[in-house]
Structure 1
Amino acid sequence: MKPASLWPDEHLPAHSVPPPWPGRAVRLDGTVTYVRDTPATAPGAEPALYVHGLGGSSQNWTDLAGLLAPWLDGQAIDLPGFGRSEPGRRYTIQAFADRVVRWIEHSDRGPVHLFGNSLGGAVSVRVAALRPDLVRTLTLVSPALPFLDFRRSLQGRMLLLLAIPRGERLAAWHLTQLAPEVMARQVMEACIADLTRISDQRRQEAVEEIRIRYQAAHYAAAYVRTFRGLVSSFLRSYLPGPNSLWRMAAGLRAPTLVVGGRVDRLVDVRVAPQAARVIPDSRLLMLDGVGHVAQLEVPRTVARAVLALLAEQREARTAAEPQAGDLLTGTEDSARASDMAG
């Protein structure tokens, strides 16, 4: 583990609040998977795939994907049952990882730079562990890797719901009692440390996202079953056997950036440093005053750390293969060298 470096901010695109990237419904293995595309804005960009967290969607990556578009040709996927994707048969880490693998294979874009937030981080660890041929680099933002003290998570109060018969119906009823604006505010308050960092446009998009969830009869079941699957994966990780996420993390080969917020209310704040210690080739970025979704709250800082990782990998490739094509060129190389020297 080593501290993450930061690419110079002035070489990122100018600040903007882009609308959600255009999406499309793709029929994959008999069900619809919804994918948003953030096309590259410069030649030589490499493929990237973004995976959201529990209750999130592909829209969670709009700002970060836009900042990285000069270097990465991005796609963000809605996991089964979330966003605009149709429900799945199972809601486990394994099932979600299988869908991510199938999408990479179907799109024929691998290997990709793989990004995962929260649940998506756990899914991405499994993908990178079992299919290293599909992953160039791995970026984990507040990854939901196993921890057992649920007092350190606001979602600990949901544990009782898992034990209640027909808990999914109770969750669905609860959703109907809250206006979309109220639910959106509660979600943002749980995920974001400083709400002043979130634009009015992003707030309105969050409300629209909630409206879509209310119209999807499967959403409450998908949420509760996914939470159940996540808790189950936590417990299995502390038992013997091959399905431990921590054991998978220890075997990762991809260069990895781990980002954590010190005001994370959903994942134990000790998880990100532990992940960086366990993953062999890792860099750690801990952010003061930031919550669970750093890619939404401070996207420029996350983008700078990602670009420093890409520059490091480019250097390694150049050293090994002097004729390899450049990912970062021209004045950006000089800026990177100056930044690293500093």
Structure 2
Amino acid sequence: MADSVVSLPFVNVLTPTVSAGETVPVALIHGWASGSVYWEPLAKKLLEAGRTVWIFDLPGYHPGEEVPPDFPWTLDSVAGSVAAAIEARSSGPVHLVGHSMGGSVSLTLAAARPELVATITLVGMAPVPQNQGFKKLLSSQLDQGFFDPETVAKLMNAWYGELSAADMARLSTGFDAPFPILSASAVAAMTGVEPSVPGRVHAPLLVIAGTDDRVRPMEQMRAFVAESQQRQLRAIPGAGHNVHWEQPEKCAAALTGFWETSWPSPA
């Protein structure tokens, strides 16, 4: 990974009232134009299951955070920053859970620093070519230098479906990040991981996908999982791109079942 890293001071560490006896923390990595708020329903279910949860804000996404102007916002540098934050908080590996672009960050980290990763879960994501309509829409906004309200609403609808006004206000705060952060992370999201990265990830890997995801079709998820016996797929009926927000109970059940059977790795 890149030598350029920044401190990630805004990590929400959540400890369960009653522990499940599992010492491996769960690290949740958000996607593009998103933030920690959309992890809250899943985090609640994981806490109820006795799991310690860390929710990361990626560089520049925490309100009021200032990122050094010379920091290159790439999957490589962000994965390095997350790795440094994990090392500062844990003496062992973590269960990485990355949504959408956060899955690309997680894959990059797992390929470069395998000792930090017990398992990896990709939510609403597989490292395959991006939807061309999505790329075209983002590119038009990058060219004009800002994200207009109509485009934000269109993207939010594709990601979440119908939302109440209150939820729309809460969940769209990722678009409040400074434009240089939004634009650089959009490029990272559109570019995706280097082709060699998935093959260099040897940790047990789970893909959780909503069957109604309008961003990542199930066919892409199945094809990626079929490439390795180390990969599993859990399809959540009726859920869309943000399956962890829409179906947190089923998502938590899929995660805990995966961890219980995959870590420590079967002899």
- In structure 2, relative to structure 1, the CA distance for the partners of 1:107 and 1:253 (3 Å cut) is same
2:95 to 104, 109, 113: 113
The corresponding residue for 1:58 is 36
Q: Which moved more, 1:257-266 or 1:97-106?
A: 257-266
Once the two structures are superposed, residues 239-284 of structure 1 have per-residue CA deviations (whole angstroms, 9 ceiling, x without a partner) of: xxxx32xx32123211111011232223344332233123441110
| SS in structure 2 of the partner of residue 270 of structure 1 | helix
What is the CA-CA distance between 1:305 and the residue it aligns to? Answer: 0.9
What is the CA-CA distance between 1:208 and the residue it aligns to? Answer: 4.1
The corresponding residue for 1:86 is 66
1:41 to 6, 9, 17: 17
- In structure 2, relative to structure 1, the CA distance for the partners of 1:211 and 1:130 (3 Å cut) is closer
Q: In the alignment, is residue 67 of structure 1 matched against residue 45 of structure 2?
A: yes
- In structure 2, relative to structure 1, the CA distance for the partners of 1:48 and 1:31 (3 Å cut) is closer
The corresponding residue for 1:232 is 191
2:159 to 168, 191, 208: 191
The corresponding residue for 2:138 is 158
- In structure 2, relative to structure 1, the CA distance for the partners of 1:254 and 1:49 (3 Å cut) is same
> Structure 2, unaligned stretches of length 5 or more?
none
| Cα distance in 2, alignment partners of residues 315 and 252 from structure 1 | 16
- In structure 2, relative to structure 1, the CA distance for the partners of 1:283 and 1:227 (3 Å cut) is same
Matched-pair contact (CA < 8 Å) for 2:38–2:171: no
TM-score of the pair, normalised by structure 1: 0.66
Q: In the alignment, is residue 221 of structure 1 matched against residue 180 of structure 2?
A: yes
| SS in structure 1 of the partner of residue 240 of structure 2 | coil
The corresponding residue for 1:274 is 223
| Cα distance in 2, alignment partners of residues 82 and 259 from structure 1 | 24
What is the CA-CA distance between 1:86 and the residue it aligns to? Answer: 3.5
What is the CA-CA distance between 1:104 and the residue it aligns to? Answer: 0.5
Letter of the structure 2 residue corresponding to residue 40 of structure 1:
P
What pairs with 1:323-338 in structure 2 (closer than 5 Å)? Answer: none
Once the two structures are superposed, residues 159-194 of structure 1 have per-residue CA deviations (whole angstroms, 9 ceiling, x without a partner) of: 2344x3xx4x3x15x25xx7xxx95x655422124x
Q: In the alignment, is residue 136 of structure 1 matched against residue 118 of structure 2?
A: yes
Q: In the alignment, is residue 99 of structure 1 matched against residue 61 of structure 2?
A: no
Letter of the structure 2 residue corresponding to residue 82 of structure 1:
Y
What is the CA-CA distance between 1:114 and the residue it aligns to? Answer: 0.6
Matched-pair contact (CA < 8 Å) for 2:118–2:263: no
Matched-pair contact (CA < 8 Å) for 2:119–2:263: no
Once the two structures are superposed, residues 183-236 of structure 1 have per-residue CA deviations (whole angstroms, 9 ceiling, x without a partner) of: 5x655422124x4xx7x6xx635414546854x5x2x221122112333346xx
Matched-pair contact (CA < 8 Å) for 1:56–1:83: no
2:202 to 234, 250, 253: 253
> Structure 1, unaligned stretches of length 5 or more?
1-28, 235-242, 321-342
- In structure 2, relative to structure 1, the CA distance for the partners of 1:293 and 1:95 (3 Å cut) is same
Identity %: 25
What is the CA-CA distance between 1:285 and the residue it aligns to? Answer: 1.4
| Cα distance in 2, alignment partners of residues 130 and 41 from structure 1 | 34
The corresponding residue for 1:22 is none
| Cα distance in 2, alignment partners of residues 38 and 134 from structure 1 | 19
TM-score of the pair, normalised by structure 2: 0.83
Matched-pair contact (CA < 8 Å) for 2:61–2:174: no
Matched-pair contact (CA < 8 Å) for 1:249–1:279: no
Matched-pair contact (CA < 8 Å) for 2:33–2:172: no
The corresponding residue for 1:147 is 129
